[in-house]
Amino acid sequence: MRLMLHNSRRRHDGEASTRRHGGEAGLTLIELIVTVAILGILATAAVPIARFQVKREKERMLRYDLWQMRRAIDMYKDAADKHAFQTKVDSQNYPPDLQTLVDGVDVQGKKVRFLRHIPIDPMTGNDDWGFRSMQDDPDSDSWGGQSVFDVFSKSDGVALDGTKYKDW
């Protein structure tokens, strides 16, 4: 019986029902504006976090690439120190360049490669790395060209920990 009473009120109250729908439409618009504003605020907060993640991933890639190249340089030097192949006299058994590590050297008739390819520096976007030879000063940014003792990024950027990428 209650249900019937409720339904009968609705039928007789047509004008009030129309006003109620008009009020609900305005409220829905306000709710939509508030929702869009909240989503905008959340998106604005997410952008710095995403940038932080991208920078951290690039730093991770840079550390790995530097480790990989330094390991290849060390392997080349170890093989040269064991007289597996001949090197230049003034090179102190370090490779003349990174391409030599990729191309490889002949060891007892076999080609031995120390690096698959020269990695791209994630900070600069190219494979132009900075080099140091044994004859260079430890703080030098210029390469003497005798051999490759160490490799570093040419980026002037600063890492998340406050150090410069070229000092890694």
pLDDT at residue 94, rounded to an integer: 93
pLDDT at residue 96, rounded to an integer: 92
Q: Where are the alpha helices (DSSP H) in the chain?
A: 2-12, 14-81, 98-103
17: pLDDT strictly greater than 70: no
pLDDT at residue 141, rounded to an integer: 72
Q: Collapsing DSSP states into helix, strand and coil, what is residue 138? A: coil
For 99-128, letters b (16+ CB in 10 Å) and e give: ebbeeebeeeeeeeebbeebbebbbbeeee
What is d(CA 151, CA 24) in angstroms, rounded to the nearest whole number?
67
73: pLDDT strictly greater than 90: yes
What is d(CA 71, CA 123) in angstroms, rounded to the nearest whole number?
20
Whole-model pTM: value is 0.69
Which is more confidently placed, 46 or 16?
46
Domain holding 108, by residue range, is: 2-167
pLDDT at residue 5, rounded to an integer: 47
Predicted confidence (pLDDT) per residue in 23-56, tens digit: 555 668 888 899 999 999 888 888 888 888 999 9
Query: How many separate domains does the chain show?
Result: 1
pLDDT at residue 159, rounded to an integer: 92
Predicted confidence (pLDDT) per residue in 105-156, tens digit: 998 889 999 999 999 999 999 988 998 888 777 677 777 778 888 999 999 9
pLDDT at residue 1, rounded to an integer: 46
